[in-house]
Amino acid sequence: MDFKSLSELLANQSCHFRYATTSLHQLNNLPPEQLPEVNFGLSKKRNHEFLLGRLAIKDALGSLGNVPAWIERDPLTKAPNWPKGIAGSLSHSSGLALAVVSDSPPILGLGVDLEKANRTIDPKIERHICTQDESEDLHSLHSENFAIRLLLTFSAKESLYKCFYGKIPRNLLRFKNVSLKWESNTWTADWKFPCKRKYLMEKIIGYWGIDQNWLWTICWRL
């Protein structure tokens, strides 16, 4: 599936990025012998999500020029074990997986999230993910914009979490520890604790877009 706005964004960066998507339709059309074994005791749905993700990663790495190989997952975090020198992130939603990778040395972390743009998100989630400033901004919007902004806020903070996961203490990686500011198709993150400079958290610019009814958010740190 072609994500035109994401493709244009990544192509216009100084760092080298590639992305790939895999759908449930593509997965179902592959013979079993072309798929990795899944022996994690997962449900059928979780097995599909795992395989979708690994196929997307394989294709993304292949487009970087790496020899495509099945990526193992970390036994503790369950996250992909990215090859040395590769920054990557993976997201899947409603039968589609999106993987973004980079082999540019300046990239220290990368996070991506994928959501159905028409997903109904429970308004009650606001009190769990939004800072006071974000809530005030939300309630100044019309109802249709409120829903999409709330979904964007959730998605962008998911991207941030992935970007910094394993790099800073988990107790700092809380959705209400960061406040987002939005401008056109970009967003910036303002962390609400004093040691953000220590963890290189000050210069984070994220992006978002909607392609074929899929909403994506992405950020990276240098």
Q: Under CATH, to which class is 4-105 assigned? A: alpha beta
Residues 6 or more apart whose CB falls under 8 angstroms from that of 158 comprise 91, 111, 113, 217
Question: What percentage of the chain carries pLDDT values higher than 90?
Answer: 46
Q: What is the pTM of this model?
A: 0.90
Place of tokens 């449900």: 43
Tokens matching residue 161: 């979490």
Query: Where does residue 86 fall: left (phi above 0), alpha (psi -120 to 50 degrees), or beta otherwise?
Result: beta
Q: Is-same-fold flag (4-105; 113-221)?
A: yes
CA–CA separation, 152 and 147 (whole Å) = 9
Tokens of 10: 């990544």
pLDDT at 136: 93
Write down the pLDDT at residue 43: 72
Mean pLDDT of 44-50: 77
Does 137 have pLDDT greater than 70? yes
Please compute the mean of the pLDDT values over residues 113-135 and round it to a whole number: 92
Using 50, 70 and 90 to split pLDDT, how confident is the model at 172? Answer: confident
95-107 residues labelled b (16+ CB within 10 A) or e (exposed): bbbbbbbbbeeeb
**Confidence at residue 110, expressed as pLDDT on a 0 to 100 scale:** 94
* Tens digit of each residue's pLDDT (9 = 90 or more) over 4-34: 999 999 999 989 999 999 998 888 887 777 7
Sign of the four-CA dihedral 57, 62, 66, 67: positive
| Per-residue pLDDT, 198 | 55
Task: Please tell me the predicted confidence (pLDDT) of residue 72.
Answer: 78
Provide mean pLDDT across the span 206-212.
94
pLDDT score of 202: 59
What's the whole-number average pLDDT of the chain?
Answer: 86
Please count the residues of the chain: 222
Contacts of 121 (CB under 8 A, 6+ apart): 147, 150, 151, 154
Q: Where are the domains of the chain?
A: 4-105, 113-221
> Bigger pLDDT: 2 or 154?
154
- pLDDT tens for 78-99 read 788 888 889 999 999 989 999 9
Q: Would you state the pLDDT for residue 203?
A: 64
* Whole-angstrom distance, CA of residue 89 vs CA of residue 13: 17
The β-bridge relationship of strands 186-191 and 178-183 is antiparallel
What backbone torsions phi and psi does residue 58 show, to the nearest 5 degrees? -60, -45
Q: Which residue has the higher pLDDT, 24 or 137?
A: 137
List strands edge to edge, sheet with 214-221.
Answer: 109-116, 214-221, 205-211, 186-191, 178-183
* pLDDT at residue 135 is higher than 80: yes
Q: Is 30 helix (H, G, I), strand (E, B) or coil?
A: coil
CATH entry, 113-221, from 3.90.1650.10, 3.90.470.20, 3.20.20.80, 3.40.50.300 = 3.90.470.20
